[in-house]
Chains A and B, each alone.
Chain A
């Protein structure tokens, strides 16, 4: 079999790739959430144009495959914007736009899930719409948004595997590379599968615990 140091090298290689997957996903979640949050504020404002545009954004980016969006950014950035970008940038931009589409719906639903009476109470002590929204409603909405956001993070972790298709080195690409190098297809796929499963499943369990905790309080 392989000598210890070679196994260690491969182990480090896979773990680094897994780390890249997690970092890429976290970046997409964070940035996508910021954009999605801002968009959700537009969506719940009374303005029909802004609300409609935000709704359209969500429908477009949730209603089309991420792979297609990825290729659009991949082909579009150099051609339309004359930008020579790395695979990372392509993937990041694409995933952020995609995630924002989902996060805007999550935040919108969370805001609308806050009990109507909270708006009444805030208004009746003289608060303006903005004060009520930021000081009373949004803090409560954030708690409601935690479980679906965690679920979205798990989705992003899996979706990040598509980055391998345009050559970005993350966990799936690492598996394909090792497969090519060692011709040991089964081992390579087994390791990749186990790593994805370990990350996603533990997050899934954690998410269920968080949900129980939030419901209790």
Chain B
């Protein structure tokens, strides 16, 4: 039974339809990568999953229960997800440690001492123990993104959503972030990753979704899809990315 699935999700921004009848699912512990050109709707799809964006029609099922859009339910639902953003979105006036403990303390009501202990453990997972008291402005892009991952993990989410996590990073620091993601995938964290990194998709993802113009064009096991694309659009996309 998929831990998360959508049924005929549709959404428009003004007159532009960005998601057209999107239906897919992700199994517990699976790493799913969503590929696609800009404007294909993949980021929007992700933001609909944790209800940052409302949908026009369709249903999202979490653990086979449809998501409610009632305000209090939305706040609760979001705690099942963790989101990592392309522009990190760390809280600038808080240290790395404070960024990670803010959620547990304010939202989950955890005691400060316990929250800090867990935050330090998470910083170890992402290899930034010595940066606990650094401010975002003192960290490199890759370090900020790793703190962001720790911040998301602090809420013990059941599904992690990655929105182009490495697109804003220098090539040198991408590796560090991908290493953390690899580790999470190996530990069977359920992850949905929107990315351009084909290498990551090939190596870590079990399944890949290819989206274009708001629809899922092709989906399948990653190895197969990326080496033997069935649709012309995916073949063209892979061609363009590889030859960049």
Residue of A nearest to B82 (CB): A124
Q: Which chain A positions have C-beta within 8 A of B152?
A: 124-125
Closest-CB distance, A132 to chain B (whole angstroms): 9
- On chain A, the residues within 8 Å of B87 by CB distance are 117
A187 on interface, CB distance cutoff 8 Å? no
CA distance in complex: A112, B85 (Å): 20
A155 to chain B, nearest CB (A): 28
Contact A217:B78 (CB < 8 A) given known A120-B85, A121-B89: no
Known A-B contacts A117-B87, A118-B89, A140-B92; the reply to A123 vs B78 at CB < 8 A is: yes
Do A140 and B78 have beta carbons less than 8 Å apart?
no
Task: Determine if A78 is an interface residue (Cβ-Cβ < 8 Å).
Answer: no
Chain B residues 150 to 170 lying within 8 A of chain A, measured CB to CB, are 151-152, 154-155
A115 surroundings in chain B (CB, below 8 A): 89
A47 within 8 A of B: no
Chain A positions 107 through 131: 1 when the CB is less than 8 Å from some CB of chain B, otherwise 0: 0000000010110111111111001
Shortest beta-carbon distance, B193 to chain A, in Å? 15
Closest to B91 in A: A136
Assembled-state Cα–Cα distance A70/B83 (Å): 53
Q: With both chains docked as a complex, state the minimum distance between the C-beta of A67 and any C-beta of chain B, in angstroms.
A: 41
Interface bits B98-113 vs A (CB < 8 Å: 1, else 0): 0000110011100000
Chain B window 53-97, contacts with chain A (Cβ cutoff 8 Å), 1 for yes, 0 for no: 000000000000000000000011011011101010111110000
Who on chain B is nearest to A125 by CB?
B103
Question: How many chain B residues touch A (Cβ–Cβ < 8 Å)?
Answer: 27
In the complex, are the beta carbons of B91 and A124 less than 8 A apart? no
Known contacts A128-B75, A135-B106; A123 and B52 CB within 8 A of each other: yes
> Which A residues from 109 to 167 make CB contacts under 8 A with B?
115, 117-118, 120-128, 131, 135-136, 139-140, 143
Across the interface, which residues of B come within 8 angstroms of A123, CB to CB?
50, 52, 78
Q: Per-residue 0/1 for B136-151: is the Cβ within 8 Å of any A Cβ (1 yes, 0 no)?
A: 0100000000001001
Candidates B50, B90, B106; contact of A127 at CB < 8 Å: B106
Q: A126 contacts which of B92, B103, B148 (Cβ < 8 Å)?
A: B103
A124 pairs with B137, CB closer than 8 A:
no
Query: How many whole Å from B160's CB to the nearest CB in chain A?
Result: 11
Contacts of A143 in B (CB 8 A): 93
Are B155 and A121 touching (Cβ within 8 A)?
A: no
Q: List A residues 184-203 near B (Cβ within 8 Å).
A: none
Distance of A120 Cα from B90 Cα, bound (Å): 10
Least CB distance from B167 to A in Å reads 14
- With a cutoff of 8 Å between Cβ atoms, the chain B residues found around residue A217 in the complex are 137
In contact, A121 and B85 (Cβ under 8 angstroms): yes
Cβ contact within 8 Å between B85 and A117 = yes
Interchain CA distance A138-B225 in the complex, whole Å: 47
Residues of B within 8 A of A124 (CB): 50, 52, 78, 81-83, 152
Say yes or no: B93 contacts A139, CB within 8 Å.
Answer: yes
**Chain A residues whose CB sits within 8 angstroms of the CB of B52 once the complex forms:** 120, 123-124
CA A154 to CA B24, docked complex, whole Å: 59
Bound CA–CA A94/B237 (angstroms): 66
Complexed CA–CA distance, A125 and B106 (Å) = 10
Q: Using Cβ atoms and an 8 Å threshold, which residues of chain B touch A125?
A: 78-79, 82, 102-103, 107, 151-152, 154-155
A contact residues around B91 at 8 Å (CB)? 118, 121-122, 136
Query: Shortest CB–CB separation between residue A39 and chain B, in angstroms?
Result: 24
CA distance A124 to B108 in the complex (A): 13
Chain A residues within 8 Å of B82, by CB: 124-125
Interface residues of A in 57-73 (CB under 8 A from B): none
Closest residue of chain B to A128, judged by CB?
Answer: B75
A3 nearest CB across to chain B (Å): 57
Q: Are B107 and A131 in contact (CB under 8 A)?
A: yes
User: How distant is A208 from chain B, measured CB to nearest CB, in Å?
Assistant: 22
Which residues of B lie under 8 Å from residue A136 when comparing CB positions?
Answer: 91, 102
Instruction: Report whether B106 and A121 are in contact in the complex, using a CB–CB cutoff of 8 Å.
Output: no
CB neighbours of A140 from chain B (8 A): 92-93
Kindly provide the distance from the CB of A119 to the nearest chain B CB, expressed in whole angstroms: 9
Would you give 10 A-B contacts (Cβ < 8 Å), ordered by A? A120-B83, A120-B89, A121-B85, A124-B52, A124-B83, A126-B75, A127-B107, A128-B75, A136-B91, A140-B93
A-to-B contact residues, CB < 8 Å: 115, 117-118, 120-128, 131, 135-136, 139-140, 143, 217
